[in-house]
A and B are shown apart, each in its own frame.
Chain A
Amino acid sequence: MTTRRDLFKFAGGSAMGLLLTPAPWRLITDTALWSENWPGIPRPARGEIRAKFTHCGLCAAGCAVRARCVGEQPVSLAGVEGGLCPFGVTGHHLPYHPERLRHGNRPEAAAAVARAIANSAPDRRVAVLDLQPGRTASWTCRRALAALKNGVYLAPEEPACAVNLAPAGTVLSLGAPLLDGWGSPDRVFRARSGFRLIQAEAVESRTAALADQWLAVQPGSESVLGRAVAGTVGLRQAAEATGLAEAQIAEVARSLRENGPALIVAPEMTSEVLAWNLALGAWGKTVLPRREAPLPREWSKAAPVTPLAAVEVGSLGALLIDESVPGAPLPWAAIQPKLAADAVVVAFSWSRAGYARHATHVLPAAVYPEALGDLPPALVAPSVGSAAEFRLTVPLVAAPDGMTDPAEFLSAVAGLDAKDALRQRAAAIHAAARGSLRTYADGKTSAVKDLKFDDFWKALNAGGSWMGEVENSGKSPHLAPAAPIPDAGDPWPLRLSTTQPGAPALVSPLMTKLWQESGLRLGPHRAALNPRAGFEEGARAVLETPYGRCEIQAALDGSVPPGVVLVAYTPEIADIRGADGCARLVRI
């Protein structure tokens, strides 16, 4: 007979026995495991891991990129030949940026442009502003504009030459961010140990901090030093302008002449900078002609490059701004007077931050790494010397619907069939049967003449890189005399200096680690000032220039000289920054 007592005893005994089995202990450990995965935390997708190759489209340097992909989705980017800059490392985040432009009314914009073309008076022009000239898409635009009766092709001034750092013995950098995104890190840093770097710059930039010698010149006087070294300006005048001792300048000039080959670089490699280099005998050694990959013969009918200054005031009836690739924008204050009162302005943009603020129509453009394109001729030439290159920015992810390609938009308006421009260009390169193709996946280099066109085209689309044969630099060019030095007037006591010009309009949200979660870089809307400039840390102020104003917050920094305000490069700053950098700060 089972009593109630027996039942209790049985239950108690079972409980005791259970403790001796692994079950309860396992259960406790498992509760720990459950608490490890709370809901709401995303789980990374899993899948086959593979590598894809492309070239970075975030600046004209176009570094070779290896993307680690899960299935088709890139999850990290790395350089093929050395590292990448922080923008490049995080490029695969751009398609998901919350501030990315996703919608636009293309038919409306197309109709407005078509109307502007149709109704235009003889003195009215249709213009394209191309922020990154020299691409195949640039050629498409120029061809389309040539097909229109009054098309004008506008672009920022292209470098007057390419530079080769590999043979350089001494490099004088006049404020160029040589070590900070000026050329592809691979080409710059590989050559770095071979040359002595003299950085002349008012602010101790990243490049100045790592230069062999930093010359803290008066803000805005860098070019005077260049002239002095080239001998077009006297030592005394240069010393007065730069604040350096005459002996110091003479020493720089001497070291450039004696420890050659010498090279002078500036933020913009204008023809004047080229002239200084020619005076140092750098042509053919450190300064080379900028070579462009072969073009199909039929592309010769293209609109010429017109400087913005040459456009008549109020003459632009329609302006198409190609912001679909990053480049150094022209200040809006310079563009705006050229527009007619009823001008149609179409911006092809990644976000609302750039020219989209001024445009009548904004069309979303595919971001890196969604868009297929190619890169302009490189500023920093390959170490072997003067050779043309052709490299594609191959899409790593598909672009969402509704994105507009500016070249395609314009050729549709102009009635030009340019869908296969890149392929035609590749065919022209292949037809020339010169140079070699490098494929990153296997690290092989093969001569173009041994390749069938289909294989060549396929390899280019898998992130291959074509390089032409090294050519003789030829005779040094003849150059026009230099422009006069601008003089900063009294109401503008400060010089405006910017970090990282040409940074992409959209950067990965992770980039905020560099200015929000640390103080490594200057964040947007922050202005670094000398602690003795009379502002407190965090004080709000208005930055004024002859072209406009913009609100900033002061960040005190002992490495910024008195008389200089250093700001992060943003579209707002680009709009108000003049060539002379005149500025003043007004406390709020």
Chain B
Amino acid sequence: MNKRYGMSIDIDKCTGCGACMVACAVENNVPALPGANDRRGITWMRVYRVDNGEEYPDRRSAFVPMLCQQCGVETPCAHVCPQQAVDVDPATGIVGQMPERCLGCRYCMAACPYHARYFNWWDPQWPAGMEKTLNPDVAPRMRGVVEKCNFCHGRYHRAKERAAAAGEKDIRPGEYIPACVEACPAGAIRFGDLNDPSSEVAAARHEAGSFRLLEKLGTDPKIYYHSTRDWVRQIAFAPKPGGKENLHG
């Protein structure tokens, strides 16, 4: 049976430490460039700090890890790419990006409501010697192409190979988890097959307080968030008219 990998992120557990962000960059060979800033950097996984809009001391903050939401229906980026550099793998439901096919037109970035796609504004570079620490399973990208979270594609392949070597047809649950899930010290991120009713993520989506971002756009994202706090759950919806600027992240 086809899998539909998804994630469930408990905002009530996220401390905003950023381990997921750096673990993602380590796993996927994303460099940190001196000229990069919050609008030109590459952060496949990015933790935003959101607040309830009140002033001190009534201000309350929460941390929202944002990554590609892996839209399953009318996937906005896959839909618009002129040269099939974006695809939705029917076997896993993962929205993949082929940087080597990408022309760098950035149409997919304009299409993504979650700002989860990143352009390589510079050639990748690492401090002398640090290229030795690159992950052999992921090819570094060249300048001028778009990239994004692919649920650690390299890890998926590794898990597939391991399963094949062990003579198994399928990857066993827990054998394949993305780097951010593994790194999270607070255990706020869970990952698994949404099609498998026994998986943690499949159960988590039905929990009270579970929601998805901008669900009404109708793109069926596969990242579920969870919070028991009412004001946190408001982030699921579009900005309010006259909304204030409250972005940190």
Contacts and interface: CB of A to CB of B under 8 A. Distances in A.
Touching chains A and B, CB distance < 8 Å? yes
Contacts of B18: 86, 511, 513-514, 520-521
Interface of B: 12-19, 21-23, 25-27, 29-30, 32, 36-38, 40-43, 46-49, 51, 55-57, 59-63, 100-101, 123-124, 126-142, 179, 182-187, 247-249
B187 A83 contact: yes
Interface in A41-93: 41-47, 49, 70, 73-79, 82-86, 88-90, 92-93
Given A44-B135, A509-B127, A559-B51, A518 B46 contact: yes
Contact of B22 (A32, A90, A186, A558): A90
Contacts of A561: 56-57
B103 to A, nearest CB: 10
A210 interface: yes
B56 A86 contact: no
A558 B55 contact: yes
A90 to B, nearest CB: 5
A451 interface: no
B140 A209 contact: no
A351 to B, nearest CB: 13
Contacts, number: 211
Contacts of A47: 136
Nearest to A193: B13
B41 A73 contact: no
A520 B36 contact: no
B19 A557 contact: no
Interface in A122-167: none
11 contacts: A49-B136, A76-B23, A89-B22, A96-B130, A98-B127, A516-B36, A519-B49, A520-B21, A521-B18, A558-B55, A559-B61
Interface in A509-558: 509-514, 516-521, 530, 557-558
Contact of B60 (A181, A209, A511): A209
Given A43-B139, A70-B136, 10 more contacts: A41-B141, A45-B132, A78-B182, A85-B17, A88-B19, A189-B187, A209-B16, A216-B57, A520-B48, A559-B56
Contact of B15 (A43, A74, A179, A559): A179
A96 B185 contact: no
A216 to B, nearest CB: 4
A512 B32 contact: yes
Nearest to B134: A44
A38 interface: yes
**Closest 4 interchain pairs by CB?**
A517-B41, A185-B185, A216-B57, A36-B100
A324 interface: no
A76 B26 contact: yes
A560 interface: yes
Contacts of B57: 216, 561
A513 B185 contact: no
Given A76-B26, A82-B185, A513-B43, A41 B142 contact: yes
Given A98-B127, A530-B56, A518 B43 contact: yes
Given A73-B132, A511-B22, A513-B25, A42 B49 contact: no
Contacts of B61: 204, 209, 559
A97 interface: yes
A357 B36 CA distance: 29
A521 B18 CA distance: 8
Contact of B128 (A90, A98, A189): A98
A512 B40 CA distance: 13
Contact of A513 (B32, B101, B127): B32
A533 B46 CA distance: 29
A19 B152 CA distance: 40
B138 A44 contact: yes
A246 interface: no
A85 B186 CA distance: 9
Nearest to B180: A83
A49 B49 CA distance: 37
A95 interface: yes
A9 interface: no
Contacts of B21: 86, 513-514, 518, 520
B133 A92 contact: yes
A292 to B, nearest CB: 26
A408 interface: no
A481 interface: no
A70 B40 CA distance: 31
A36 B184 CA distance: 33
A206 interface: yes
Contact of A93 (B128, B133, B141): B133
A207 B133 contact: no
A33 to B, nearest CB: 8
A393 interface: no
A209 B63 contact: yes
A520 B249 contact: yes
A214 B14 CA distance: 16
Nearest to A400: B129
Nearest to B36: A517
Given A45-B132, A75-B134, A518 B25 contact: no
A82 B15 CA distance: 15
